[in-house]
Each structure stands twice: as structure tokens, then as C-alpha cells.
Amino acid sequence: MSKKYWNEEIETIDREKLEEYQLKNLKEQIKFAYNNSAYYKKSFNDVGVTSEDIQALEDIRKFPFINKSIVRKRQQSKPLLGDLVAVEEERVVFVSSSSGSTGIPTVSPFTKKDFDEFQNIESRLFWGTGMRPNDRYVHALNFSLFVGGPDVIGAQNLGALCIWAGTLPSDRLLFILKEYKPTIIWTTPSYAWYLGETARQKGINIREELAIKKIIVAGEPGGSIEATKNAIEDLWGAEVYDFYGISDIFGACAGVCEYKNGLHVAEDQLLVEVINTDTLEPVGPGERGELILTTLRKEARPMIRFRTGDIVTYTDEKCVCGRTHKRINIIGRLDDMFISSGVNVFPSDIEYIVRNIEGLTGEYRITLFTKNHMTKFSLEVEVNENIKKTIREIQDTVSSEIKAHIGVKPTEINVLISGELPRATHKAKRVIDLRR
């Protein structure tokens, strides 16, 4: 329990040695994908590349991208697993599925080796938050095909007492929090806020009647938005730790440490690229770009240059905690981004501003519409009941803050009373698109 790292050798490895390790595994992964996946053999042949073209990590840029649309089409071409897979179905022991919110759900297969390594990464990330065998952990994520469901096994392997709560009604979950006194919970940022508000409304003294000391959040960018993270921490009197995962790769594959200065990516499992979405060229540290992931050890379905659709910034600098793997900060989803008056706007940018304005609850909703053939947006915000400012003053403040930070402002701002906007029990729906 006294050790600082789950796997000190790999987590603190010198970057030069880490990249040597990545290069060795990348060559093997490319060769394995070519020899065993019908899709990759054709894809690589079409552009004339083989594993011999990988002489440096940068050579991955010679290989074609893959994205969610391709994954979906390949799955439909040969149900259930598609022609991207590189093993016989008999070797697949687990499949997760995407939500299908942007199309037909896609299945993500794992061999036993894939699954075991996936859970070892979960143990590493949990350990990095400070979880130890003497903790009681509530896993409040969906178990129904969701790739984050099995992550609870990583906590069990670490030695924590695990409560497989899943997506229980809030009353039942609060009962568990009161009776079982767990110290750590994992859910989405929206639900962490909703559950805390519900507890307070029911007269529960969160800090005295509950024992939650750490809240792990994922599924939305809120955990990487300082104002949102601070609001949840103030509500619960607990620390918030952000995790990042993606159904097409595996559960959480990046997470913050105790210093909360970016999410450490498991670079022994993944090769990270961050690219400009227009030029498809790499961006530098601190610059926004799309996260591209390549698996380095996956058997069931290698993913070569998968375009995640997530906009991030990154740094290669060694963290204060001593870990050397890349750290990312999540900005938002590319498909959530909209362009208004020539400005790229992410809902997370709006959230950052709304959460920092005194007197607002932090809840918001964006509505997109077309006017004169251009995308415009209106905004709904909530105020606390005891606020003394007028509606006009609130509207002016919100409008000017958004204009100052983003460069464009809403056409209309509607001010609502606390509780009027719907609360999310899991992922919040922040954008209503009336353009379609």
C-alpha cells in the first residue's frame, strides 16, 4: 500500500526508452494487423505500405486513418465482428458496444490477453488517483455493453472493496452511499453534480453523513474544466479525478494523478498523435487538435490511426508526480463543435464561462439554428434563487464574458430559475440542434 506507482518501471520510464518500446511494438502491431485482418491487408496494399515502412514512430503518418464510419461499415460487411478483426471469434472473450448515438452501435472485441491488459491499465489509473486496498469503491457506470462497465475489475484487482452499483436510481444509490460508506465513486460529471444536488435537496449533509473522498468522472469533458471540477468538489467536499476512455479502444486509457495537471495516457498500450483537423498535420504541445490513437498490443481488433473525434491539447513534459507518459487535456468532441460567425465553438468553452460567473448554477443549454444561411446559437442559463442582479444585468454579463473568451456571442440569452433546466442522470445533453 505504500508504493507510489502501480508499475513504477513502465510509468516512470525514460521517454527515449519508452519510444524504443513503442517502436518495437508498433512494428509488430502493423505486421500482425496486415497478416491477420482482411481490412488492413487491403487498406495497406491500397497505399503501398507495410510494416517495413515503420523505421521511426513518425512513420505511422504514412499509414491511412480509420474512423468510426469505417469501423461501422466494416462491421456491417461481415457481422458480428466485421473484417477488421485479426483473430478467430473463438478467441474473443468479451465485447463492448458504443451507444450508437451517432449511428449504428459498433462492437469492440477483446481476447483474454486484451482484456487482462485492459484491466491492468484500470488498476494503474485507479492507483494513480490514490485508491488503495482499504478503500470502498462504488462503480456507478452502465454495465449494459458499455466499455467502462468492466473497469470495476481493475479496482478489484487492486484490492479495493467494490460495489457494482451500475445505473441505479438516485434514491437507491444515495442509500448505498449512506449505508455502505464508500470512499470513492465513479460516474459522469453531470451525474456527480445531479446526485450531489439531489442529496442536498433531501437534507443529506454530504460531508458528514457520507464518506466519499474521491470522485472519478469520465464520459464528458467536465472533469477537465476547472470551474466544473471545482463546483463538484465544493458540493461534495471531495476531490475530482478525470478519466478518458473510448469504446473502440478500451475503457479508461488515460487519467489524472494526484497533481491533476492533465490525463496520463497509457503510452505503453497506445501511440498518440494530435493533428490539425484541416491540414491533418501534427500540432505542437499546447495546441488544440484531434486525438489519433494507434493500439500497440491489441489482438482482437488492432486500431491503426483511429480518429477519435476528440479535441485535446497535450504535453510531453515529465509530470511532477514522476510519470513520463504524455498528458492530454480534453477540450470536447469534434462532432459537438459548431461554427458561428467563423468561430469554432465547443460546448465545453461555454461551460467554462458559465461555471465561472457568480450567481449562476452552472447548468446551461445551447440551441443551434440557421439565420440568413448562417449558424447562430441561443443560450439558456440558470440563476440561484437568491441572486440580486436583474435579468438584464445577468444577460449582459454572460454575453460579454462569452464574447471576450470565444469571440462570438449568443443571439439570445434566456435566464431561468434554478431547477428549470433538465438534469442528466448520466451524460448531459447540452446542445439542441434545430438546423436539421
What CA–CA distance (Å, rounded) separates 195 from 217?
13
Residue 375 and residue 349 share a domain: yes
Residue 364 and residue 236 share a domain: no
Residue 144 and residue 41 share a domain: yes
- Indicate the pTM of the whole model: 0.85
Residue 45 and residue 61 share a domain: yes
68: part of which helix (H) or strand (E)? Answer: helix 68-77
Residue 374 and residue 252 share a domain: no
The domain containing residue 96 runs over which residues?
A: 1-334
Q: Which amino acid is present at 355?
A: R
Residue 330 and residue 401 share a domain: no
CATH of the domain at 370: 3.30.300.30
Give alpha helix (H) positions in 54-158.
68-77, 112-129, 152-158
Q: Which amino acid is present at 198?
A: T
CA dihedral sign, ordered 353, 359, 362, 367: negative
Residue 276 and residue 366 share a domain: no
Q: Which of residues 334, 349, 374 is at a domain's end?
A: 334
Q: Which of residues 334, 357, 386 is at a domain's end?
A: 334
Q: Look at the chain and report how many structural domains it folds into.
A: 2
pLDDT values of the chain reduced to their tens digit, one per residue, 436 residues: 679 999 999 999 999 999 999 999 999 999 999 999 999 999 999 999 999 999 999 999 999 999 988 998 999 888 889 999 999 999 999 999 876 555 577 899 999 999 999 999 999 999 999 999 999 999 999 888 888 999 999 999 999 999 999 988 999 999 999 999 999 999 988 889 889 999 999 999 999 999 999 999 998 778 888 888 998 999 999 999 999 998 888 889 999 999 999 999 999 999 999 999 999 999 999 999 999 999 999 999 999 999 999 999 999 999 999 999 999 999 888 888 888 877 888 888 898 899 889 899 989 999 999 887 788 999 999 998 888 889 999 999 999 999 988 888 999 999 999 889 987 666 778 889 898 7
Residue 99 and residue 159 share a domain: yes
Residue 359 and residue 264 share a domain: no
Residue 322 and residue 346 share a domain: no
CATH of the domain at 185: 3.40.50.12780
